[in-house]
Structures are given as structure tokens and as C-alpha cells.
Structure 1
Amino acid sequence: MKTPPTIIVLGAGRGSRYTGARHKLAEPLGSDSVLKLTVSNALASGLPVVVITTTHFADDVADLVAKRDIVVLDQGSGVAPGGMGDSIAAGVAARPAAGGWLVMPADMPLVRPATMVAVANGLGPHPVAYAQHLGRRGHPVAFGAELFSELVRLSGDEGARRVLARYPGLAVEVDDPGVLLDMDTEADLASMRARVAAQLPVRP
């Protein structure tokens, strides 16, 4: 049986663009926090999940995932030592035998579990696959196992941009607006809360 890709939930960022009273991942959304809802949806996909986070948030997801599936990047400061590249590299290094990796930003809690599965299934002939809604590119982005050596060397804030520029990607069109909705502002949070209240966002 083919080894499935692992979802890497990126929850170690500073969230410096968000101006609310608390870190954006701690903001309540429905009955959970933004971070917990993202992780819960990833788990609901049935794919393996590893959460990259900081000491500050590790306890928040400890009731959802096993300790071995939580990678803490800092030494207790609550701030990641690097950027998205460091987080992706840490997740890939934590699961070197995975059949690929889906990069899922933790501030995108409305992405449906079925969407993650669809993007994971897009790997194969293509080393990269990504979610697309109404022709607009979104997340998650999946990378094939053959890209391990490049992904594990990522660092800084650029993320996997150079890898994406080098390899052809498959656009997986999905009926899921959540793939385009991240949370950088309080207005983004208000919009997400309205969707949750209207029972619009997450369905298997």
C-alpha cells in the first residue's frame, strides 16, 4: 500500500500582521480556536498530521494529536526562530518517510477535509499539487516525496516559493472557498465567524 502524504499544519508563525488583542491562532472561532479548528479539519481528512508550533500553543493541540505529532520550534519564547521555510523544513524532517507533504497554514481553518484529500490525490505524475477555487490558487499545497532534499533545506520567510517556481504543479479545482481564506486582519476573523455562524464552511 502506498504511504499517504502527511499534512503539515504551520502554526509557529509570529502572526505579526494581525492587530487583535491576542495571537490570531488563539482567537475563538465557533467552539474552538482558529488553530484547533484547522488541526481538527486536518485530522478529519484521515491523512497523517504533524503540527508545527511554539511552546505557547503546544498545549492547545495536545488533546487533539499525540505528543510525537507536535514539533515545537522555540525554547519557550513563544516565537518561532525563523519563518515559513523553517516550519516546512521541520515538518518534512519530522516525517521523512511520508508519501509527500501537504502544507496547511494554521490560519486557514475553513479548508474542508475533503479538499485536503483531493489535493493529496493530485500528487503522482506531478511533484506539486495545489488547491484552486474558481481559478484562483490557494492552500493547501502538496509536495511529492521526491522533493524531500529540497524541502528539508528551506529556511526563512520565503517558504517554498523557489521550489514551486522550479516544478510544474497540478491545479486541483475544488468547490471550497476556504482555500482562499486566511486570517491576517480582524476583518478576516469577522468574516470567518459569519461563515461559521451561517454553517457555511466546513463539511467532509
Structure 2
Amino acid sequence: MPAPAVIILAAGKGERFLASGGNTHKLDALLHGKPVLTHVLDAVQAAGLAWHLVRPDGGTRGMGDSIALGVQATRDAGGWLILPADLPLIQPTTLRRVADALREDTVVIPHYQQRQGHPVGFGRKYFAALAALSGDVGAKTIVQQARSCGATLDLTSDDVGIVQDVDRVGDIHFIEKLRKIQAL
């Protein structure tokens, strides 16, 4: 089976970030001297996985469209890890763990301290369902259907990066403090 690909969702408008006082798109906001998106791209590249970035210019009207575009662009992948681009603390080892746990007929859901996080991994079996998503509806229904069939794997993680996203300016400040504490 071919390796899975990471679909990096970067097509959102970042309206909450701007409304909270941000003067740039949240993915361009600097965190320790680098844009938020660069932190995510660095982690994906360090994980050694193929990836596809879905940008705003892709004609998307929401998360469903973004997922569908990314999956269609990587149709030969062995599965997909759906990763929002606003998770700058995500660790390469976490991406590898989700990819390694993925099977053709499973959905892998990482959890940090009982909170569901990202990336959620989808096996090849889910290509048609993911490629058919549209609008602002993500893959939640696909996950629920897989869970009802016993086709999900819950993966416990100690990586806060799977849940700590950037939605507001305060999140940047919180992450900076968190990284200082982790460095101690």
C-alpha cells in the first residue's frame, strides 16, 4: 500500500484572529520568528510524509471543499492525514504515529488528555466519501460512521500540538509562554 499523504488545510479566512486584533492572517503571524504555517510545514517535512497544501486560492467555500480538493489532488496516496494549518506545535513524531497506525479501512483519531485532536487519519477506503465533501462541512460525519462500524482507532498522544491551535492573537501569546515552559 502506498504511504499516506498529509492534507494541510490553509484555506480559511482567519476571521477570528483578525477580529481579536491580529494585523495579518493567522497563518502569517509570527511565532518565535517564523510564520505559524512554516512551523506546520517544517513538522510535516520532518515527518517525511508526502503533503499537499490547500490554499485560499483553491476555490474553496469551506473545510469540506478544502478536504475534497486535497484528497483529489493526492488520489494515489495510501490514505490521508487531515491537518489544519494552525497547529504550530504539532510534532513530526505524532504525524508519523498517525500515519503508521493507518490502515486501508480505518480512521485514526489522536487524543491529548481526552481531547480529540488532529491530524485525523483516513484509510484508502474513505477516498470517495472525502472527495465528495463540500461547503463548510468537514469529515465529522465520516468519522461518526466509521466509529459506528468499529473502524476507528483512538490514539493517545502526549503532544499538546494536536489540540493547541491558533484562532486568536491570545493563542500566539499562550503558545509562546507554553514553549518557554517546555524549554525549562
Q: Runs (4+) of structure 1 moved beyond 3 Å? A: 196-200
Q: Is the 8 A contact 2:104 2:123 kept in 1?
A: no
Q: Is the 8 A contact 1:126 1:170 kept in 2?
A: no
Distance 1:171 1:29, change over 3 A: same
Aligned to 2:5: 6
Q: TM-score, normalised by structure 2?
A: 0.90
Aligned to 1:131: 110
Identical amino acids, percent of aligned pairs? 38
Q: CA deviation at 1:198?
A: 4.5
Deviations 1:50-99 (A, max 9, x none): 11113xxxxxxxxxxxxxxxxx404xxxxxx3101111000100010100
Q: Is the 8 A contact 1:112 1:178 kept in 2?
A: yes
Aligned to 1:29: 31
| Structure 1 position 187 matched with structure 2 position 166 | no
SS in 2 for 1:108: coil
Gaps of 5+ in 1: 55-71, 75-80
Q: CA deviation at 1:40?
A: 1.0
SS in 1 for 2:71: helix
Aligned to 1:149: 128
Aligned pair count reads 176
What are the within-5 Å matches in structure 2 for residues 36-47 of structure 1? 36-47=38-49
Q: Is the 8 A contact 2:105 2:126 kept in 1?
A: no
More helix by share: 2
Q: TM-score, normalised by structure 1?
A: 0.81
Q: CA deviation at 1:34?
A: 0.4
Q: Is the 8 A contact 1:108 1:179 kept in 2?
A: yes
Q: CA deviation at 1:199?
A: 5.3
SS in 2 for 1:97: coil
SS in 1 for 2:111: strand
Aligned-residue Cα RMSD (Å) equals: 1.5
